[in-house]
A and B are shown apart, each in its own frame.
Chain A
Amino acid sequence: MIEVKDVHFAYPNGIEALKGISLTIKEGEFIAIMGQNGAGKTTLIKHFNGLLKPTKGDVLVDGINTKETSVAKLARNVGFVFQNPDNQLFCETVEEEVAFALKNFGFEESTWKKRVTWALNLLGLAEYRKTSPFMLSGGERKRVALASVLAWDPKVVVMDEPTIGQDYEQKEKLRQFIVQLNTQGKTVVVVTHDVEFVAECNPRVILMAEGKIVADGIGKKVLTDVTGLAQASIVPPQITKIFMELKDFEMATDVIDLYEAREILLRRLGEK
């Protein structure tokens, strides 16, 4: 679906944000990209829909080189949800906001009306259809931004820091929602600092540090590898930390899932 081939990227001010990234994202995958501030996470995902073009190397989306096409064409397949919803909301009503992209992509009125209804229902925003997006709370604005992207049904959904500023309940809803999207066959890429959130989702995890990929693999492996995590300035999930502290008791140290942890502990308690 998305192929990143030895990509280097330098900003006009000379800062090299990406230093040789190679990566393949298959259709239907669920990926979390993690790393410290300034590791190049946002720079990398902006290559997925052509907002940034590599200064060296290539990015192929569905076999098409991003250098040879426009953002608008790529965006049809790769939906991008920005970190701050206030960077994109501008319409008078939530309905128009969600319809904006659909009109840009040339959907007919009857089609986009249906799509808007579908997207608003999906994110529980139907009652705000005629409300101004600026009257909504932060979490709701974030959902409007998400709805405005999902409405055109892109194959890939890229989210930059979706959990920032969300309370636990919203985060849990978001998690279920992302997992649901993924099971429906959508490719999902999430950039986040929230290690607990990632541990609960258990996706493929890519760790980045200083413009390079330092680890890439299943969550269970990457999130329990202390050296890799330290390189990317990430603290392991709490449950993993507990099991690392308990390593003298000869128990598994690669645990990120609460249920798995519970099973192991119960079994251990039963033995005694």
Chain B
Amino acid sequence: MSVFDGLKFRRVVSPIHMLDPRIKFFYVCAIFVVAIIFWELLPLIVLFLAQIPFVLLARVQKEWIRSLRGAAFLASIIFATNLIFRFIYAGYVLTAQDLEYASAMTFRFVVLVESFSIFFLTTSPDHLGLALEQSHIPYEFCFAFTTAVRFVPVLAEEAQTIMDAQKARGLELEKGNFLKRIRNYIPILIPLIISAIRRSLELAEAMESRAWGAIKKRTNLYVLKIRRADYLLILISILILAISVYIRFYIPIPLLSDFLKL
């Protein structure tokens, strides 16, 4: 659950929050691409550290650390599977390089989580909807998307209440073997799904009673504009991309394990 905590928007006034979500998304995509084109540990660590100024500037460090902590479990699985496969592939020997490779893959995942977490922590759902709309995506889809984002915390709270209600009737979630434990969640999932469906129908009625879709061409109270800071971020993203591509093709990246031996 804490992974989702790290994706929940916090209303803070900061230069990062003011940025155009489209540009921020472009930046996240750039980081994404860079993380994919490197498989060495060194550049991935640099990439990881390069994001920290953004986090500090946006003043979301607490939530950001929480999202990283939430990702720790998946990260350790990635580390373990990579290590095991390298181990088997190399004929049951473990070298420092294998260790480095596994850590690099883990860091790649962490970088992806980190950049997405920055994006979602600093972009309000309203802005996200606006950005989608101004990217000429049909309004129905934008609305569906923002509504889905909007209802995640509501659903999480409801799930907690349902869990409490069933626990009060003697349900023990952690009891029994693996299959039994999965079955234990049925009394929670059914009320949750039913209430979600019921809520969506109610929402549809409420929207229609407020003349949703009466006018084909909608206007917005707020319009996203690309400002100077946004151009700066575009520049930074393009620079990061260009430098990374250059390094990838023309500069050999030293392995950290070799580096330490010298």
Which residues of A does B touch, CB under 8 Å? Answer: 46, 49, 51, 70-72, 75-76, 79-80, 82, 84, 86-90, 100-101, 104-105, 134, 148-149, 152
What is the minimal beta-carbon distance from A63 to any residue of chain B, in angstroms? 21
B187 at the A interface (CB under 8 A): yes
A72 and B167 within 8 A (CB): yes
B186 at the A interface (CB under 8 A): yes
Supply 8 A–B pairs (Cβ within 8 Å), ascending by A: A71-B167, A72-B167, A79-B168, A86-B191, A88-B162, A88-B166, A90-B194, A104-B172
Picked from B167, B169, B186, B194, the residue with its CB within 8 Å of the CB of A86 is: B194
Q: How long is the Cα–Cα vector from A84 to B161 in the complex, in angstroms?
A: 10
Q: Within 8 Å CB of B198, what residues of A?
A: 86
A88 and B169 within 8 A (CB): yes
| Chain B, 121-178, CB within 8 A of any chain A CB | 158, 161-162, 164-172
Q: Within 8 Å CB of B169, what residues of A?
A: 75, 88, 100-101, 104, 148-149
A72 and B194 within 8 A (CB): no
B170 and A105 within 8 A (CB): yes
Residue of B nearest to A106 (CB): B170
Residue of A nearest to B187 (CB): A90
What is the minimal beta-carbon distance from A71 to any residue of chain B, in angstroms? 5
Picked from B172, B186, B191, the residue with its CB within 8 Å of the CB of A88 is: B191
B224 at the A interface (CB under 8 A): no
Which residues of B does A touch, CB under 8 Å? Answer: 158, 161-162, 164-172, 186-187, 190-191, 194-195, 198
Residue of B nearest to A79 (CB): B168
Q: How long is the Cα–Cα vector from A100 to B172 in the complex, in angstroms?
A: 12
What is the minimal beta-carbon distance from A47 to any residue of chain B, in angstroms? 12
What is the minimal beta-carbon distance from A86 to any residue of chain B, in angstroms? 6
Q: How long is the Cα–Cα vector from A71 to B172 in the complex, in angstroms?
A: 8
A76 and B170 within 8 A (CB): yes
Q: How long is the Cα–Cα vector from A100 to B169 in the complex, in angstroms?
A: 8
Residue of A nearest to B167 (CB): A71
Q: A51-B167, A72-B172, A88-B162 are in contact. List 10 more A-B contacts (CB 8 A).
A: A49-B168, A51-B168, A75-B168, A79-B168, A87-B162, A87-B165, A88-B169, A90-B194, A134-B194, A152-B170
Q: Which of B166, B169, B195 has the most CB of A within 10 A?
A: B169
Residue of A nearest to B186 (CB): A90
Picked from B164, B170, B186, the residue with its CB within 8 Å of the CB of A72 is: B170
What is the minimal beta-carbon distance from B186 to any residue of chain A, in angstroms? 7
Residue of A nearest to B172 (CB): A72
What is the minimal beta-carbon distance from B109 to any residue of chain A, in angstroms? 26
B170 and A82 within 8 A (CB): no
Picked from B170, B171, B186, B191, the residue with its CB within 8 Å of the CB of A87 is: B191
A71 and B186 within 8 A (CB): no
Q: Within 8 Å CB of B191, what residues of A?
A: 86-90
Q: How long is the Cα–Cα vector from A89 to B162 in the complex, in angstroms?
A: 9
Q: Within 8 Å CB of A101, what residues of B?
A: 169-170
